[in-house]
Chains A and B, each alone.
Chain A
Amino acid sequence: MTYDTIVIGAGLSGLAAGIRLAYFEKSVCVLERHTTIGGLNSFYRLRDRNYDVGLHAMTNFAIPGTKRGPLSKLLRQLRLRWDDFDLSPQNGSTIAFPGVTLQFTNDFAVLESEIARAFPSQIDGFRRFTAHLLAFDELALEQPELSARSILAEYITEPILIEMLLCPLMFYGSARPMDMDFGQFVIMFKSIFMEGFGRPHAGVRLILKKLVRQFKLLGGELRLRAGVREIVLDGGRAVGVILDDGTELAAHNILSSAGSAETMRMLPQSDAPQTSIEPGDISFMETISILDREPAELGNDRTIIFYNDSPDFRYERPSEPIDVRSGIICCPNNFQYDKPLEDSSVRITALADPHYWFDLSEEEYPARKESWRQKIIESALRFCPDFRSHVVDADTFSPRTIKRYTGHLNGCVYGAPRKILDGTTSVDKLFLCGTDQGFLGIVGSMLSGISMANLHLLKPDSEVATS
């Protein structure tokens, strides 16, 4: 048979795209190389405990029933209910820089009043900046590349405040080192500072399981351990794929969530595009410490703490194996759940140099990981209470882990610095969704899958040509 569409990757974007296609009765097959779903935001079990790979918090929080905004759009498009995501709001988060902190919650007024308190001379500029940002159309699929830093500097004259605003938004969604594309900045500003954080009690597995169930109920086909080795072309047009085991599958369309450079590498050598696409190199190490009690009992009730120990924030591939000057401390327990989580944990994340971690031998790797894990925690303890005597288990992953399980070159989390917002490629009938299309994070990647399915594979007019 010939599928209407083959989706490469069962991460959040691929599954969301799959649901749209299956709902409108397209024959669709989602292919995933790994043994499980989720990609950059997956889950696993280790020594009898459940772990999430990526989930710190879901951005774009909205209370159930809200009619506007990305989360509501997402649920409508996937025909899911608010209950399906079971989101509880955050307690509140902190941006901690030398000598100054800002708190924020899911109520934007809190951040405003914090800025008025800590930077009284800047609040008017900040309000004007917010007005400018609200007037910007960040979702347009055609956009000039603008520098968020230079636009911020037109309104805010205190350099450290600019860094403090950039810090959480870059950590949670910038593919570009040291600066952000302004469109991406606006998306992240709204999704983090204006809408805020939430988390499902059961973690990301709840969302992934809902997506897969919906996809299968609608007749979609999901194949695990089915990596795509090659995309088959016929006269410059994508017509199918060859799997790692040699199986050939035919399709009218291919939608890849593997990344742009990664997808181009699946093309037959002779057809490789002239313009080379550079993969990004922003990656992270994350260490998860399981505690014998809730972080709040140890004096930390913050949901996320974004910290940086110097006046400027270096968001880039570090020259050291890990950049311990800055990081993210996340406490999954610190959301307003109806009942406590089964396990208590603290997750700490810091920028990592992918090349260092790739080049280590199998023998060296575990010891280096352990020693950097301790350095990351020591550094983070300048910004939160010491929890080390309460750690009962731990797990740590590096860029090497991310690459192994998701195939992203350089273990890159937010993809290539240059996004392809309309999802087209140099190959006819081959489209991109997910990380390198440009909507990032959990909510963003699902919206990416939805928008690309709508734009290229479902529009009544686009169909005439294929059926």
Chain B
Amino acid sequence: MTPEQIRTVILDILSRIAPDEDLSDLDDTVPFREQMELDSMDFLDIVMELRKRYRVQIPEEEYQQLVTMQSTVEYLEPRLKDAESPA
């Protein structure tokens, strides 16, 4: 997947976890937590959704890589480069 496709996937995951958030003007450089209500349970869900969809294992010590949209996409890019983008 391209970075842009990965971004779309993350947006989709966020909208499932937090259906009442408006994600249209999400700032990619600002931490998710400063822009939306996400607690540690929700955070765990992002990790688990990624594992469920793409079988990527993210060790706990690397969770902090998922702090902003930008860092998340950068972190996932090498790990998802061979993954198929959803239609």
Contact = CB atoms under 8 A, between A and B. Distances in A.
22 contacts: A25-B52, A65-B20, A67-B18, A67-B20, A67-B21, A67-B36, A72-B37, A73-B39, A73-B41, A76-B17, A76-B18, A77-B45, A82-B20, A450-B41, A451-B41, A454-B44, A458-B44, A460-B47, A460-B48, A460-B57, A460-B58, A461-B60
A132 interface: no
The 8 closest A-B pairs by CB, nearest first: A67-B37, A65-B20, A24-B48, A67-B20, A68-B37, A76-B17, A24-B52, A25-B52
A72 B20 contact: yes
B33 to A, nearest CB: 12
A51 B18 CA distance: 34
Given A73-B41, A76-B17, A460-B47, 7 more contacts: A66-B20, A76-B42, A450-B41, A454-B44, A460-B48, A460-B57, A460-B60
B67 to A, nearest CB: 18
B63 to A, nearest CB: 10
A65 B18 CA distance: 10
B51 interface: yes
B16 A79 contact: yes
B86 interface: no
Contacts of A25: 52
Contacts, number: 39
A459 interface: yes
Contacts of A77: 41, 45
A76 B36 CA distance: 13
Give the secondary structure class of A's interface.
Answer: helix
Q: How large is the interface on A (under 10, 10 to 19, 20 to 34, 35 or more residues)?
A: 20 to 34
A209 interface: no
B41 A460 contact: no
A450 B39 CA distance: 14
Contacts of B18: 67, 76
Interface in B11-34: 16-21
Contacts of A461: 60
B20 to A, nearest CB: 5
Nearest to A80: B19
Contacts of B16: 79
A377 B58 CA distance: 59
A343 to B, nearest CB: 33
Nearest to A65: B20
A82 B37 CA distance: 16
A385 to B, nearest CB: 41
Contacts of B42: 76
Interface in A317-347: none
B9 to A, nearest CB: 17
Contacts of B59: 460
Contacts of A454: 41, 44
Contacts of A355: none
A63 to B, nearest CB: 11
A375 interface: no
A272 B58 CA distance: 39
Contacts of B58: 460
A216 interface: no
A81 interface: yes
A81 B17 CA distance: 11
B13 to A, nearest CB: 12
Residue among A73, A82, A451, A460 facing the most chain B CB atoms (10 A cut-off): A460
B26 to A, nearest CB: 15
A353 B45 CA distance: 44
A26 to B, nearest CB: 11
B27 to A, nearest CB: 18
A124 B60 CA distance: 46
